Amino acid sequence: MRRSCHHIEARSIYKRRRELNEALFAKIIPVHEDRYYQRGTAGSLAFESAFDRELEPGAVLRYTDVEADYAQARANLAVFEEVWKRRVPNLPCPLHVEDGKVLCRMKPDARGREPYWEEHHDTAEQIVTN
């Protein structure tokens, strides 16, 4: 029978480590208890991503703001793909950017079939309209 890790938590060195960790990185809060994530919506998160600040009453999120953020994300994916090809040349990259569209490499639905590319439909239009 194995002992649980609870006997370690009672030691003074473990308690000190926890104090130092919380002083450096703040207390760990489970996501389901974190108010920030509970109130987050696709729109508020898109606003924060576009403007590097939280949404405030009266703030306006325009399609052009979200589209600019998505354009940067697509550009980053192109860089990611190039780095993947250099670092993991024997495996195909799971993402591909073509004509401004993000394609995901999909697992074949049956044995013996080839993987295929499918457009990733998480677009700026969806964020603005949700």
In a domain, 75, yes or no: yes
In a domain, 115, yes or no: yes
In a domain, 95, yes or no: yes
Q: For position 2, what pLDDT does the model report? A: 53
In a domain, 81, yes or no: yes
Pairing of strands 116-119, 95-98: unpaired
Which pLDDT tens digits describe the chain residue by residue (130 residues)? 455 677 777 888 888 988 998 899 888 888 888 877 777 787 888 888 888 888 888 988 888 888 888 888 878 888 898 999 999 999 888 888 888 778 888 888 888 888 888 887 665 454 444 4
Q: For position 129, what pLDDT does the model report? A: 47
Q: For position 9, what pLDDT does the model report? A: 78
In a domain, 102, yes or no: yes
Structural domain of residue 94, as residue ranges? 35-129
In a domain, 1, yes or no: no
In a domain, 15, yes or no: no
Q: How many domains does the chain have?
A: 1
> Are residues 104 and 122 in contact, defined by beta-carbon separation less than 8 angstroms?
no
> Are residues 102 and 119 in contact, defined by beta-carbon separation less than 8 angstroms?
yes
> Are residues 82 and 91 in contact, defined by beta-carbon separation less than 8 angstroms?
no
Indicate the pTM of the whole model. Answer: 0.49
Q: For position 127, what pLDDT does the model report? A: 46
In a domain, 67, yes or no: yes
